[in-house]
Structure 1
């Protein structure tokens, strides 16, 4: 009997993850490094990592608006311009995109694999 409950819970989690991923694909473009590099200079480039991570190294031209501060600082991001997001691996940037989408931002993209996969120019403080 207990294993049935565990299976039902696991199935519910799996369904939730699949639905979330499919919904996310409708509003968030996941870009390869080449695609990201081709468009980020025409967009608002936002690093959603924490300030200490940003200081260790970030994509040249990026602004640091950590996911933990996104709610308070969203007015720093223009809703009428493309927004390119990245974090260390892609998880936080996807969450930031979900938040921005709920706040009427429409042109949202993020870097596949995040900063750890970036091979382009980097600036450190």
Structure 2
């Protein structure tokens, strides 16, 4: 998998069954997030990798793309092979017109 994908590529991966991992903080998540995504804040990720599927493609997302790249690198170091970061984050996702939901 490429190390980074566009929001359009991320949407296609999601539609094909990829696991969407949001590494933002809960208050950011509550404002808006991708439907069906799972929240694990970046600071907790290394200790919670056992909650993630190793047999599924994972797209890591954040607000703008910086934390998701860090999250991707944490997962790669933990032995995950099918993981990528969404460039531009939820800001670009929203700007491109893709659906978001709010609340916990």
TM-score of the superposition, structure 2-length normalised?
Answer: 0.89
Gaps of 5+ in 1: 1-26
SS in 2 for 1:72: coil
- 1:53 deviates by 0.4
2:19 is aligned to 44
Greater relative CO, 1 or 2 (CA 8 Å, sep 6+): 2
Question: 2:28 maps to which residue?
Answer: 53
Corresponding position of 1:104: 79
Which residue in 1 is equivalent to 2:98? 120
CA distance in 1, matches of 2:8, 2:100: 15
Does the alignment pair 1:94 with 2:94?
no
Which residues of structure 2 form unaligned runs of 5+?
Answer: none
Question: Runs of at least 4 residues of structure 1 off by over 4 A?
Answer: none
C-alpha deviation, 1:85, in angstroms: 0.7
Mapping 1:21-40, distance limit 5 Å: 28-40=2-14
Structure having the higher Rg: 1
